[in-house]
Structure formats: structure tokens, C-alpha cells
């Protein structure tokens, strides 16, 4: 008898925290009046997938009237705030970010909203270019040609290093700006999916 008294509370505790436990489940309510409880594992523009104790069930959004989330599921609160905040940021064009960084290193980072990264790229590029220029030698040509440049240009090893550094900073800025813009768009897509789930839970269907 004592053993049963111990096992029953343990079994109840297991059910309470089970992934498909009704106590911690989402509820999908349909227009026909039926409802199903489980955990929503996937949602796209047309379908909602609910994992229940008997398996996964897919519902067309046209049939779904409302989705309710368990109040104890605190993990939903963070994404909701994140989604609503992220909607203030615009979609980025990776190719545009790459091109503007090719013209002026750091500009692509600024376009993506990374002010610190943009200023670092721009400042490093300008500094290395200035050092490359000051370590180069430009001398007047004693016998200037009738056409063309009247000066001669010699490139020292120090200047070559700084010119190479400037070129590398420019390439880095281009690739980083492209990847950063693509990552921003990916995060926005994930957040839009979460927002769609939130709006649906409030009775608003896409």
C-alpha cells in the first residue's frame, strides 16, 4: 500500500510534465465545434500540425477558428515580444548591401543597421588607405611626355601591405554585409511564422 501511495503521485507528476500532457497543451478549435489538444509542431500559410498523444494531426487553416496556448507555457512570451519588435525592421536586399559595401566599405553594414560594424569597416578602410598613400612615393618626371602622366609612382613594401589591407577590408565588408542581410531576412521569416501563430491564437486567421 505504501508503494502505491508513492507511485501514484509520481505518475501524476509525469503526466503533468509530459510533452503531450493535456495540462500543458495547445488547443485547436475548428469551425465545426470540435477541438483538439496537443503541441503545435509546425505551421505554414495553409496548415497547422498538432502533435497529440495518438499522433500528429494536420488541419487546414480554413477549418481553424482559434488556437489557444496554455498559460503555463512561458516560453511563448519571449517570441511574442521578439516578433512584435522585429516587425519594425525592414526587409533587406543582400545584393544591394554587398554592392554598396563594394563602393564604400562599411556602408552595407550601416544599411543593415549595424552602426558599430559599419563605422569599424569604414574607419579601418580609410586608415589603411591613408597609410598606404603616405608610404607611397610620387615624384615629378624630369622629362614629362607630351601626353600621359607627368609623375612617376613607386610602391614601397609598406605601402603594398596597407593597400592589400584596404582591399581585404573592402572584400570583408562586401561578404559580411551580404551574409548579414540574408540572416536578417531569415530571422524575419522565422518571426513572421511565430507572429502568424500568435495572431491565429487571438482569433485572426491569415
In a domain, 89, yes or no: no
Which residues pair with residue 154 across a beta bridge?
Answer: 137
- pLDDT tens digits for 146-198? 555 545 555 677 888 888 999 999 999 999 999 999 888 777 666 555 555 55
User: Which residues make Cβ contacts (< 8 Å) with residue 115, sequence separation at least 6?
Assistant: 109
pTM of the model: 0.47
In a domain, 182, yes or no: yes
Whole-angstrom distance, CA of residue 205 vs CA of residue 162: 57
Taking CA atoms, 42 is separated from 25, 37, 62, 113, 120, in Å, by 14, 14, 16, 31, 40
Three-state SS for 40-60 is EEEECCCEEEEEECCEEEEEE
- pLDDT tens digits for 106-143? 999 999 889 999 999 999 999 998 888 888 765 555 56
In a domain, 121, yes or no: yes
Give the CATH number of the domain where residue 37 resides.
Answer: 2.30.30.100
In a domain, 79, yes or no: no
- Residue 104 sits in the same domain as residue 183: yes
As for how many domains the chain has, the answer is: 2
In a domain, 39, yes or no: yes
Which residues pair with residue 49 across a beta bridge?
Answer: 42, 58
Which range of residues forms the domain containing residue 59? 16-72
Amino acid at each position: 500500500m505504501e508503494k502505491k501511495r508513492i507511485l501514484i503521485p509520481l505518475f501524476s507528476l509525469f503526466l503533468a510534465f509530459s510533452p503531450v500532457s493535456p495540462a500543458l497543451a495547445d488547443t485547436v478549435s475548428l469551425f465545426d465545434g470540435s477541438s483538439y489538444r496537443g503541441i503545435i509542431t509546425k505551421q505554414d500559410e495553409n496548415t497547422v500540425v498538432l502533435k497529440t498523444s495518438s499522433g500528429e494531426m494536420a488541419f487546414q487553416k480554413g477549418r481553424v477558428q482559434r488556437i489557444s496556448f496554455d498559460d503555463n507555457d512561458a516560453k511563448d512570451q519571449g517570441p511574442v515580444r521578439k516578433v512584435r519588435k522585429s516587425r519594425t525592421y525592414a526587409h533587406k536586399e543582400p545584393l544591394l548591401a554587398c554592392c554598396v559595401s563594394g563602393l564604400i566599405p562599411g556602408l552595407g553594414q550601416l544599411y543593415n543597421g549595424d552602426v558599430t560594424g559599419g563605422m569599424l569597416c569604414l574607419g579601418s578602410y580609410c586608415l589603411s588607405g591613408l597609410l598606404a598613400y603616405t608610404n607611397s612615393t610620387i615624384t615629378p618626371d624630369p622629362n614629362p611626355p607630351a601626353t600621359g602622366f607627368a609623375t612617376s609612382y613607386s610602391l614601397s613594401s609598406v605601402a603594398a601591405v596597407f593597400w592589400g589591407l584596404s582591399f581585404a577590408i573592402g572584400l570583408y565588408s562586401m561578404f559580411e554585409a551580404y551574409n548579414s542581410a540574408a540572416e536578417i531576412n531569415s530571422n524575419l521569416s522565422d518571426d513572421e511564422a511565430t507572429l502568424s501563430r500568435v495572431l491565429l491564437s487571438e482569433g485572426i486567421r491569415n
